[in-house]
């Protein structure tokens, strides 16, 4: 995670970050409205768990320093698709992180303060909280490839809920079930239409799983764990369906990220390729695009998708949801092109939500792969040949002999 200061102390990537601050004139309304070091506000609800110094992590309930009718919007990525980046950054800079230290093992036997934080994140609606900080927070922003942007923070002195959270009945039952495995609990809650962002919050707070094994999970790890768990779950179901019979191309563009999604009439296989255009955040000194890729075939992956990282699992979840909804399986290749105006990451939620949005639209259909690839070649900014050199799934599909070829003889 990159820490960003409005005074710009020359930290890594300070150029792009300063561009964000200057362009959007970020000023923390939460910090401006604070009087002293105490406040009462509406938590979305939200809790952040850091990954640095693991297993001695920082735990931080988050809330603005004032009451809001719709605080959920500040920490619900499933409502953000289509909003400008500056709006989302504006949401996040309102949330003050009230930080305290905790061992990850303490989730199974929490202190009174940690128990209040755990109770907070169980709420499906915003919860009023009272917070006393050890000092006033400074207006600042930090960005991560995985989590949404983070706003001001200061050490926590006292924390209290001023109302009882409204907890979904199924959540209450599985949190109370101290014998259910966390993986099973997550899948059951997903089937009861509990949103992804809610699931990673309660997993991060150490509220699921066998009691003695419950731990606090850093937020960035919890997000990827939920995406990975649920996409594995969906893909295993999808593998039992018949393949689609054509090639389908879907498209969506959001915050200068272009997504082209190609579905293949084959058994399950998945690949995500990401191209950073020259002059962008990671290619500022290069005249060529940089392509990163991860893939899996029918048997799945054995190792973490280290090239594309958490974005791989977010996209795979969205594809799994779509294929389950149409009761078909397919191969899938995602071409993600990242533009030069992307100056700070908003988190992997934008991959999940953009792919979800693309797959809701009517696709273009083709009955031959060369025609689908010709169409993509006319739309992609990076030459198709560059992708074909990197793609394992397309290489396998193009050269694999199919039983229909023998039946036609």
Please state, in angstroms and rounded to a whole number, the distance separating the CA atoms of residues 203 and 216: 8
pLDDT of 25 above 50: no
Which one has a higher pLDDT value, 132 or 14?
132
Share of the chain above pLDDT 70, in %: 88
Q: Angle, to 10 degrees, between the axis of helix 196-204 and the axis of helix 219-238?
A: 130
- pLDDT, tens digit, 9 for 90 and up, residues 391-409: 999 999 988 765 544 444 4
Q: Residue 252 has what pLDDT?
A: 98
For the segment 308-319, the average pLDDT, to the nearest whole number, is 98
Of residues 13 and 80, the one with the higher pLDDT is 80
pTM: 0.90
Read off the pLDDT of each residue in 73-92 and give the average, rounded to a whole number: 95
| Each residue's pLDDT tens digit, 362-376 | 999 999 999 999 999
**Is residue 112's pLDDT more than 50?**
yes
Q: Look at residue 7 and tell me whether its pLDDT is greater than 50.
A: no
Q: What is the pLDDT of residues 266-307, one digit of tens each?
A: 999 999 999 987 765 555 555 678 899 999 999 999 999 999
Q: Which of 84-88, 151-155, 254-258, 402-406 has the lowest mean pLDDT?
A: 402-406
Instruction: Give the count of beta carbons closer than 10 Å to the beta carbon of residue 405.
Output: 9
> Residue 180 to residues 75, 174, 175, 286: CA-CA distances in angstroms?
28, 7, 9, 51
Burial 325-346 (b: 16+ CB within 10 A, else e): eeebbbbbbbbbbbbeebbbbb
Of 94, 92, 105, the closest CA to residue 34 belongs to 94
Torsion of CA 260, 266, 268, 273, to 10 degrees: -30
- pLDDT score of 279: 61
- Tell me what the mean pLDDT of segment 210-223 comes to: 97
Token pair for residue 31? 């910090």
Confidence of residue 178 (pLDDT cuts 50, 70, 90): very high
Confidence of residue 6 (pLDDT cuts 50, 70, 90): very low
Per-residue pLDDT of 332-369, as tens digits, reads 999 999 988 766 789 999 999 999 999 999 999 999 99
- pLDDT at position 22 is 44
Query: CA 91 → CA 84, 95, 141, 229, 329, distances in Å?
Result: 11, 7, 11, 28, 38
Q: How confident is the model at residue 189 (pLDDT cuts 50, 70, 90)?
A: very high
**Mean pLDDT, all residues of the chain:** 90
Residue 133's pLDDT band (boundaries 50, 70, 90)? Answer: very high
pLDDT for 46 equals 97
Transcribe 40-51 into DSSP letters.
EEEE-S-EEE--
């Amino acid at each position: 995670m990159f820490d960003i200061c409005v005074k710009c102390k020359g930290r890594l990537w300070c150029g792009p970050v300063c561009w964000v601050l200057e362009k959007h004139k970020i000023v923390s309304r939460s910090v401006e409205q604070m009087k002293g070091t105490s406040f009462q506000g509406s938590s979305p609800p939200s809790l952040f768990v850091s990954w640095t110094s693991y297993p001695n992590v920082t735990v931080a309930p988050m809330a603005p320093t004032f009451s809001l009718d719709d605080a959920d919007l500040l920490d619900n990525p499933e409502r953000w698709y289509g909003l400008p980046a500056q709006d989302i950054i504006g949401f996040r800079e309102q949330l003050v992180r009230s930080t305290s230290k905790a061992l990850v093992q303490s989730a199974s036997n929490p202190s009174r303060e940690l128990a209040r934080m755990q109770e907070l994140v169980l709420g499906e609606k915003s919860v009023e909280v009272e917070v006393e900080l050890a000092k006033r927070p400074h207006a600042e922003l930090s960005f991560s490839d995985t989590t949404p942007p983070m706003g001001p923070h200061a050490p926590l002195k006292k924390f209290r809920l001023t109302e009882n959270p409204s907890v979904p009945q199924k959540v209450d039952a599985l949190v109370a079930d101290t014998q259910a495995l966390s993986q099973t609990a997550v899948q059951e809650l997903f089937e009861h239409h509990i949103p992804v962002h809610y699931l990673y919050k309660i997993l991060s707070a150490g509220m699921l799983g066998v009691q003695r094994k419950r731990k606090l999970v850093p937020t960035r790890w919890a997000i990827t764990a939920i995406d990975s768990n649920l996409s594995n779950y969906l893909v295993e179901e999808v593998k039992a369906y018949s393949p689609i019979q054509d090639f389908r191309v879907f498209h969506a563009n959001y915050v200068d990220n272009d997504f082209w999604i190609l579905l293949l009439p084959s058994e399950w296989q998945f690949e995500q390729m990401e191209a950073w255009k020259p002059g962008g955040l990671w290619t500022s000194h290069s005249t060529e695009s940089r392509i990163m890729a991860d893939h899996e075939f029918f048997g799945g992956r054995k190792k973490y998708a280290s090239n594309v990282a958490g974005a791989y699992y977010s996209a795979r979840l969205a594809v799994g949801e779509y294929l389950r909804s149409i009761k078909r399986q397919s191969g899938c290749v995602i071409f993600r092109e990242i533009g030069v105006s992307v100056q700070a990451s908003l988190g992997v939620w934008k991959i999940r939500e953009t792919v979800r949005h693309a797959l809701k639209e009517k696709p273009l259909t083709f009955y031959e792969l060369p025609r689908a690839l010709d169409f993509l070649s006319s739309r992609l900014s990076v030459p198709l040949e560059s992708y074909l050199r990197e793609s394992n799934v397309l290489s396998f599909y193009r050269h694999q002999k199919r039983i229909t070829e023998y039946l036609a003889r």
